[in-house]
Structure 1
Amino acid sequence: MSPLGRPASRQADVLAQIRSLAEPLDSAADLDRLVERSAGARFVCVGEASHGTHEYYHWRALLSRRLIEEHGFTWIGVEGDWPDCWRLNRWVRGQGDQDLDAHGVLAGFERWPTWMWANEDVAEFLDWLREENEGRPEHEQVGFYGLDVYSLWDSLREIITWLEANAPEALPAALRAWQCFVPFHEDPHEYAWSTRIVPQNCEADVVALLAEVRRRTLDRGEGDPAAFDAALNAMVAADAERYYRTMIRGDRQSWNVRDEHMADTAELLSRHHGPGAKGLVWEHNSHVGDARATDMFDAGLVNVGQLLRERHAPEEVVLVGFASWTGTVIAAEAWGDPEEAMAVPEARPGTHEDLLHQALGGPAAMVFERDRSGPWLAGRFGHRAIGVVYHPWREAGNYVPTRMGERYDALLWFERTSALRPLHHEEPPEEPEFETEPSGF
């Protein structure tokens, strides 16, 4: 019997299929097949098996650069907060903070884990993107946006600032929402815990604010970036309130609130950039890889990759995953703790990563054709997911049962990977923080 618990002939068939699909991955030119497969898509979602691995960020940037340069992709949506990424968006378009370099503008990322975006790989990409945009007319410049839902207070502040300048008569709605949250000292967990004890919450106020801001921004058209920013901040505030209130009850449906928000934001960005606009989504494999091909589906969870596939024709959505066998990663032992470089153990026997190691060894790219049958593509094996909180000695809990051929349209594989280089270090928390997102399935 093989380590898979199956006859050796079955394992041989699995390894043979992997080898038949793989092509060497040594330079950006080796991405040709994946670039060709992605060229006509409206959404290309590019994952990462951790939030702290250099190779994932580096190769995601190389793929993104080729799609932007060669096939007209004009926006990038990332697993980051809308207000922080809006400042990056303005910077890469030459509209703000031009006295700063990429390192300086990324220093504005303060919400833990800062290393997700404030790292050398992202800084290098943003430097390239700003230079790329300098040679483009404004309507063809590439935007950089945050898709996430955590920035409740920052988004409320941005809304109030916009209303003061553009629609002061609508300020009462914003101030009512702000006053509702004031007793909780900008602590979403304190607010969420209070709703468990007292049924009163701020949902009605933020929903009313969302409706008011939408009404005020709709007639300004797509040509007003500040109005678009205000509308998206209002959407974040409403969904963030619902997210924290659901999360604190231990309800895993908070995952769905978050991923539905991120998918809806990606749709809005596509429309904002005009008919036929093509965009990139940068998120963890757990959000990018179709949840229906994992045990997430059995738990009633959805994700961004699944939602975009369900909403669009097959050729309009491309999902790209990453995987590796061993190496190092930036992560933390507990939510809010300082980051550290950790060793990633060799993959557990019988997992996708172990099979890829046995079949390939070094880096390779695989683009899956329409036929996703066969012993590896249709087989269900564990697929490693490393979160921002990581315990290498508990590796068994980091594997998601996955049918690889259904989860992604392509996979980039690396035998050994190395940790990201953060631009600055996390400060020890003044008091314990609550985890606000799943750290890996």
Structure 2
Amino acid sequence: MSGTVLDDVTTMREAATTLRSPQDLDPLVRRIGHARIVLLGEATHGTAEFHRWRAELTKRLLAERDFAFVAVEGDWPECHRVHCCAVGAPGAPNDPGQVLWGFRRWPTWLWANEEVAEFAAWLRSFNSTGSGRPCGFHGLDGYSLGESLRGVLHYVREHAPAHLGATLDALRCFEPCGDDGVSAALVPENCREEVVRLLTALRSAAAVEPGLDPAFVATQNAEVVAGAERYYRELVRGGARSWNARDTHLSDTLDRLLRVYGPDAKAVVWAHNTHVGDARATDMAAAGMVNLGQLTRERHAADGVVAVGFGTHGGTVIASDHWGGPVRRMAVEPARPDSLEGVLHDAVPGEDSLYVFGDDGASEWAKELRGHRAIGVVHRGGGYVPTVPAARYDAFVHCDETTAITPLHHWEPAEVQTYPSGV
């Protein structure tokens, strides 16, 4: 090990806050301060410790800093059912686990797992004892083409029959692809015009019903249809444009939620590191890619944005070894010695630790370019993203030895809409 790396390890060890209880998150809560948006990442989708520390921090932000909602890298319709349960909406189930069990799009385990069910149950209890507006739970993603179209149709039939024609035209246009989003790229070009007509009609109808009401939910479903159409068409063309279409949709949905919750509303976002960490601090920028973290920093610089990355040295993870494959508990091989996780392992072995970056000398090690682990829903060995940690994030949580989440399903439905994006 070189002298430079040895110096970095010593500095890392001195800068680390060992995480053993929610109170150990105090330095990060102070760093967040009055920020309006907090982005919480994950190096893998299937790690229990990432979910747990995100949940513990989110609980504190909701209880102590009056954050208004949690937005996740999940589909709008499915997550809206979790939201209805969490806020105690009339007719919604009482058990968030039951709602999460109803998730059907592969890979269900991203959100249908015991760790998320535990947080959602806490959120429902928290909302039931509060006196103000309940805290929401929403999906930012745009894969749910078929279900979102059906959601629009249901709303229009009941609340806005004058727009039934535009809705049916859009529905018929996408009939050839059914629920298979990839096939959406192959439907006629005039489908784009039908989606624009549908969006225009619903935005007009929703304008008279401000708030997170059925009109907004239907309009968001229409936005999902428009976003999915753009994403899958760009996917066929190749390059960075499909990624950019998806992350722009994530960012646009977050902005719509902030507007509907009000000018003082604050949001916590849960998504993969590749979405929440600023793309400009990685090799994504050279490839022409933007992401949610970059767009949020650019759009909300005056509001305050804090991005927190997560990493692990080794352990186990839930993933699949091929697209659409069965869920498996898999090994996370030890991190490369020269990677961010490898050096942090040398600094604080066997511990969960927190690092808050600043302009002081203690963060100099985080201004160096290093490989940073990234595992998606398909895992065939560790991938690494070249990263300048202090530019990509404002803080970092390293969980040295991690364990796999516990899926609610022990099987996976056949429906596959996320191909080929694994994060």
Q: Which amino acid aligns with 2:400?
A: E
| Aligned CA-pair RMSD | 1.7
- Is residue 209 of structure 2 the alignment partner of residue 255 of structure 1? no
Aligned to 1:329, the other structure's residue is in SS state: strand
- Indicate the residue corresponding to 1:70 in structure 2: 64
Structure 1 position 201, deviation (Å): 4.6
The counterpart of 2:35, out of the listed 18, 26, 41, is 41
- Structure 2: how far apart are the matches of 1:11 and 1:243? 42
- Indicate the residue corresponding to 1:292 in structure 2: 280
* Segment drifting more, 227-236 vs 46-55: 227-236
Q: How does 1:130-149 map to 2 (within 5 A)?
A: 130-137=124-131, 139-149=132-142
Q: Which amino acid aligns with 2:312?
A: S
Aligned to 1:63, the other structure's residue is in SS state: helix
Whether the 8 Å CA contact 1:43–1:280 is kept in 2: the answer is yes
- Is residue 385 of structure 2 the alignment partner of residue 400 of structure 1? yes
- Is residue 146 of structure 2 the alignment partner of residue 153 of structure 1? yes
Whether the 8 Å CA contact 1:39–1:67 is kept in 2: the answer is no
- Structure 2: how far apart are the matches of 1:74 and 1:233? 21
Q: Percent identity?
A: 47
Q: How does 1:8-407 map to 2 (within 5 A)?
A: 8-137=2-131, 139-192=132-185, 194=186, 200-222=189-211, 225-313=213-301, 316-361=304-349, 362-371=351-360, 375-392=364-381, 395=382, 398-407=383-392
Q: Which amino acid aligns with 2:371?
A: G
Whether the 8 Å CA contact 1:210–1:234 is kept in 2: the answer is yes
Runs of 5+ consecutive residues of structure 2 not aligned to the other structure: none
The counterpart of 1:423, out of the listed 397, 408, 413, is 408
* Segment drifting more, 87-96 vs 54-63: 87-96
Q: 1:69 to 1:329 in 2, by over 3 A?
A: same
Moved >4 Å (runs of 4+): 96-100, 371-375
Q: 1:367 to 1:164 in 2, by over 3 A?
A: same
Question: Across the two proteins, how many residue pairs are aligned to each other?
Answer: 422
* Segment drifting more, 370-379 vs 205-214: 370-379
Aligned to 2:80, the other structure's residue is in SS state: helix
Structure 1 position 102, deviation (Å): 2.1
- Structure 2: how far apart are the matches of 1:45 and 1:229? 23
Whether the 8 Å CA contact 1:335–1:434 is kept in 2: the answer is no
- Structure 2: how far apart are the matches of 1:315 and 1:411? 21
What do residues 118-175 of structure 1 show as CA deviations (whole Å, max 9, x unaligned)? 10111111111001101223x5210000000101111111111111111101110000
Q: Which amino acid aligns with 1:409?
A: D
Q: Which amino acid aligns with 1:416?
A: E
- Structure 1: how far apart are the matches of 2:94 and 2:322? 32
Aligned to 1:147, the other structure's residue is in SS state: strand
Runs of 5+ consecutive residues of structure 1 not aligned to the other structure: 3-7
Whether the 8 Å CA contact 1:337–1:428 is kept in 2: the answer is no
- Structure 1: how far apart are the matches of 2:270 and 2:230? 24
Aligned to 1:248, the other structure's residue is in SS state: helix
Structure 1 position 427, deviation (Å): 3.2
Aligned to 1:144, the other structure's residue is in SS state: strand
- Structure 2: how far apart are the matches of 1:311 and 1:408? 16
Structure 1 position 252, deviation (Å): 2.5
Q: 1:185 to 1:276 in 2, by over 3 A?
A: closer
Q: 1:241 to 1:102 in 2, by over 3 A?
A: same
Q: Which amino acid aligns with 1:439?
A: G
Q: 1:300 to 1:132 in 2, by over 3 A?
A: same
- Structure 1: how far apart are the matches of 2:91 and 2:322? 34
Structure 1 position 378, deviation (Å): 1.2
Structure 1 position 351, deviation (Å): 0.5
- Structure 2: how far apart are the matches of 1:439 and 1:155? 21
- Indicate the residue corresponding to 2:396 in structure 1: 411
Whether the 8 Å CA contact 1:10–1:375 is kept in 2: the answer is no
What do residues 47-84 of structure 1 show as CA deviations (whole Å, max 9, x unaligned)? 11111000000110000000111110110100000011
- Is residue 407 of structure 2 the alignment partner of residue 438 of structure 1? no
